[in-house]
Structure 1
Amino acid sequence: MPDTEKPGFRFPSAFTILFVLILIVAALTWIIPAGEYARVASEALGKDVPVAGSYALTEADPQGLFDILLAPVAGFYDPDSYEARAIDVSLFVLIIGGFIGVVTATGAIDAGIKRAMARAKGREAWMIPFLMALFALGGTTYGMAEETLAFYVILTPVMIAAGYDALVAAAVILLGAGVGVLGSTINAFSTVIASDAAGVSFADGLMLRLAILAVCWAAAVAYVLRYAARVKADPSKSLVFDRKETNEAHFLKDTAADVAFTGLHKLVLVLFALTFAVMIWGVSSGGWWMAQMSALFLFAAIVIGIIARLGEGKLVESFVGGARDLLGVALIIGLARGIVVVMDAGHITDTILHAAETGVAGLSQTAFILVIYWIEVGLSFFVPSTSGLAVLSMPILAPVADFAGVKRELVVTAFATGSGMVNLVTPTSAVVMGGLAICRVPYERWLRFVWPLLVILTIILMAALALATTFGATP
């Protein structure tokens, strides 16, 4: 077994990490002065946006013990969240678990994986760039994030059966969609909102973001392929090798058995795939969100259970059992949102933004855009929602670019890349922590896996922003 943990030391679970972060943020509310920007309604965004230069100190509201204990609960239904409430996402995850439980009970997933692996023998690696391209397409066009939680349950057993590990499955989804969001081109929840808030067209800077998307996607795919090939050649090289047996037992179940691939299995898998296709259509074209997607998977579970003749008892048992498997994931999502709840309640979010506003004054053009990038990186840790961060930061930071002689669309690109980078790893993101929990990949193993890629991507992004500023800055 590889040396994944020091003797006598066990890295804390995701629950402990998130609760410690809540404690740290609560402590900051006693140190950082409370303050707020004046806000005005924006018809274009449909939200209240901060007004540049209007920051003022306000009455402090340091968060105490009761506030800390209440934060994970409030995180589930925070009405002021810029993204879907955690209770909505958690319910979606539970229903996804129930849906997968019903499909698994039919035997279709086990039989389908076995048949797919037999036919893909020797060509399994092609799945990685193909799937990462699909997820990146979703990320760059409509900000695919919470929707990816449905795919972890499907892809993890496929990757393990192909001779890889659960970390490869997590990387394909999280890095695929994440790089797409990092290189947002027409993403309505990132680039479009940020451009509107900055007072420019989302088409401005599009070619630069396309180039960033292509280069970062290629770097991410090469990185995942390299790790996957190493694990396939020698499973002991896996960063989750100590979990190999338990992960195989959990995700593969009966795939090692001689399972016939029947006509019923084919029909169930067709309905299975059709459900996800309808979900993607609903989100991208039909205006669907968590409630509609949850209803879709609930309906699909019932239909599949009836077609497979599971019977009422087994259908309910399978659904509840599948939901039970993802209960921990649902709790992690609410806990992650609790961090933002504490920070907003302590009125320190705008104070941090004001420090960023004053910190970029007087910088050269190249230094300005690079500092803006790192400011967005820092803010993204506290505000993992791309739309929320766009509404918060763009009305303040974009006008400052005029004084630095930098085009506002470059500030939008710095925002998109900075927030996208952080959302590959931040523990405040329900998507990151929830996805890793579904794959049964410890958070610290993910950090060990991804940090070299983060360095590579950071170099690419900073070079792109610097070059674009040099050749595209205003006179």
Structure 2
Amino acid sequence: MRKFTFPGAYTILFVLIILVAALTWVIPAGKYQMVMNPALGKAVPVAGTWAPVDAHPQGITAVLLAPIDGLYNHVTYTAGAIDVALFVLIIGGFLGVVNKTGAIDAGIARVMARLRGKEERMIPILMALFAAGGTIYGMAEESLPFYTLLVPVMMAARFDPLVAAATVLLGAGIGTLGSTINPFATVIAANAAGIPFTQGMLLRVLLLVIGWLLCVVWVMRYARRVRQDPAASVVADMWESNRAHFLGARSGEILDFTRTRKLILVVFAAAFAVMIYGVAVRGWWMGEISALFLAASIVVGFISRMREADFTATFIDGARDLLGVALIIGIARGIVVVMDNGEITHTILHSAENLVTGLSTTLFINVTYWLEVLLSFLVPSSSGLAVLTMPIMAPLADFAHVGRDLVVSAYQSASGIVNLVTPTSAVVMGGLAIARVPYVRYLKWVAPLIAMLTVLNMLVLSLGVLL
């Protein structure tokens, strides 16, 4: 009898598309009246105006089209994924060119020599930096290149790819969960709720600090265990193939840290620094960032005196390595496309509106939190979820005698925790695919931490009601 093997990420996502399509045959279609919010520059739903509309059940054709539509269609609350997918391919090409020069291998060897015996210190420092990116500007898709960079570093330090993936994913994710001035979550949600984004700031800082500590302890505890016993790794069966993939045939060779390689690493680091500046200060998105890394690839090619034919072949090979990640992003976004086309998003929100009406203050905020958790699975975009739910939930808070800032915090913490695990997130599925960590294994590993963070969220929200 053959042993059951859990399906891979592609199959999981396609099954979810089928399930959501099936729901469009069961859940009645409906819409809220929409009005333009000048502060957001977007149309938002009006509480109490939901009405049924003609059904739009999604059939086999819609299911098959969903991954394609997910790549290039902009649905109501979520943008198309083609820009993110192209960014991933260009990042793959950029990293392929840099890897070809040996600069990263030489740099890793130098870092490991400097950190010998202190490698664990990288984890809290890096997670703090990623958390800062999450809380300040909602670091998400921009984190994808760091997976490719950190996995070989962590493996050279005798950790495993999950340590690298968790450092990025949980670091940036806990920052988003505890957003303070994140314009794509906190500011949009507060504007949609009609309050200043500074209201409730202390509560979010509390979530950020305690949540970061929990995540750091969880990752470091696992990292120590893997370092002492590689068999304890959740990807122990992939150890040799991962070493070959991430560290290459030269993994045992110490490369000279030449002046050329140093200069290439300067360009490498500068590209990421400019990316962070562009996103946080200049409002760049995937198009501008992709152009940046394309330019950086060309500069590295010139510095290393790479021939045109070698440069082109290396860039294409690097992009090919991340092609699977680009496809996963499109499939994940296809789930939202099916739900949106089936006109069931507003119906689910209407049911949530009815559920919280008339509840006591503590019960109201906790039920609101869990409703936002459910809706976050369906709308993985934090800004899209804010525009969708805040105009409905914030006025209900007034009747429940709960501050609107608490509703914003409930939305934010719910969205943040779901986006650490949801298969509908391009960041989760894409990042794990880059690190070659099976989604189901990651889910099993992170589940106890998610439970602890959930309890933390509910306790802090309940405390907010009492204060």
- TM-score range normalised by the length of the shorter chain: over 0.9
2:292 maps to what in 1? 296
Structure 2: stretches of 5+ with no match in the other structure: none
2:180 maps to what in 1? 185
Task: Quote the offset at 1:7 in angstroms.
Answer: 6.8
Alignment length, in residue pairs? Answer: 466
Equivalent residue in structure 2 for 1:309, among 305, 309, 330 = 305
**What is the aligned-residue RMSD (CA, Å)?**
1.0
Q: How does 1:87-236 map to 2 (within 5 A)?
A: 87-236=82-231
1:63 maps to what in 2? 58
Task: Quote the offset at 1:257 in angstroms.
Answer: 1.1
Q: Is the 8 A contact 1:94 1:323 kept in 2?
A: yes
Structure 1: stretches of 5+ with no match in the other structure: 1-5
2:366 maps to what in 1? 370
Using the alignment, how far apart are the partners of 2:272 and 2:76 within structure 1?
26
Which is further off, 229-238 or 81-90? 81-90
Task: Quote the offset at 1:115 in angstroms.
Answer: 1.4
Equivalent position SS for 1:63 = coil
Using the alignment, how far apart are the partners of 2:76 and 2:124 within structure 1?
34
Q: Deviations over 1:291-341 (max 9, x none)?
A: 000000000000100110111011111100000000000000000000000
Using the alignment, how far apart are the partners of 2:10 and 2:41 within structure 1?
34
Q: Does residue 50 of structure 1 match 2:45? A: yes
Q: Give the TM-score taking structure 2 as reference length.
A: 0.99
Using the alignment, how far apart are the partners of 2:166 and 2:441 within structure 1?
12
Equivalent residue in structure 1 for 2:74, among 70, 76, 79 = 79
Q: Give the TM-score taking structure 1 as reference length.
A: 0.97
Residues 427 and 99 of structure 1, relative CA distance in 2, 3 Å threshold: same
**Structure 2 residue identity aligned to 1:327:** L
Task: Quote the offset at 1:10 in angstroms.
Answer: 1.6
Using the alignment, how far apart are the partners of 1:343 and 1:85 within structure 2?
14
Which is further off, 109-118 or 338-347? 109-118
**Structure 2 residue identity aligned to 1:461:** N
Equivalent residue in structure 1 for 2:12, among 2, 5, 17 = 17
2:422 maps to what in 1? 426
Task: Quote the offset at 1:361 in angstroms.
Answer: 1.1
Task: Quote the offset at 1:137 in angstroms.
Answer: 0.2
Q: Does residue 445 of structure 1 match 2:445? A: no
2:408 maps to what in 1? 412
Using the alignment, how far apart are the partners of 2:26 and 2:78 within structure 1?
28
1:39 maps to what in 2? 34
Task: Quote the offset at 1:289 in angstroms.
Answer: 0.5
Q: Is the 8 A contact 2:135 2:175 kept in 1?
A: yes
Task: Quote the offset at 1:448 in angstroms.
Answer: 1.1
Using the alignment, how far apart are the partners of 2:80 and 2:28 within structure 1?
28
Using the alignment, how far apart are the partners of 2:398 and 2:119 within structure 1?
50
Q: Is the 8 A contact 2:75 2:337 kept in 1?
A: no
1:3 maps to what in 2? none
What percent identity do the matched residue pairs reach? 62
Q: Is the 8 A contact 1:84 1:290 kept in 2?
A: no
Using the alignment, how far apart are the partners of 2:342 and 2:413 within structure 1?
28
Equivalent residue in structure 1 for 2:265, among 248, 261, 269 = 269
2:344 maps to what in 1? 348
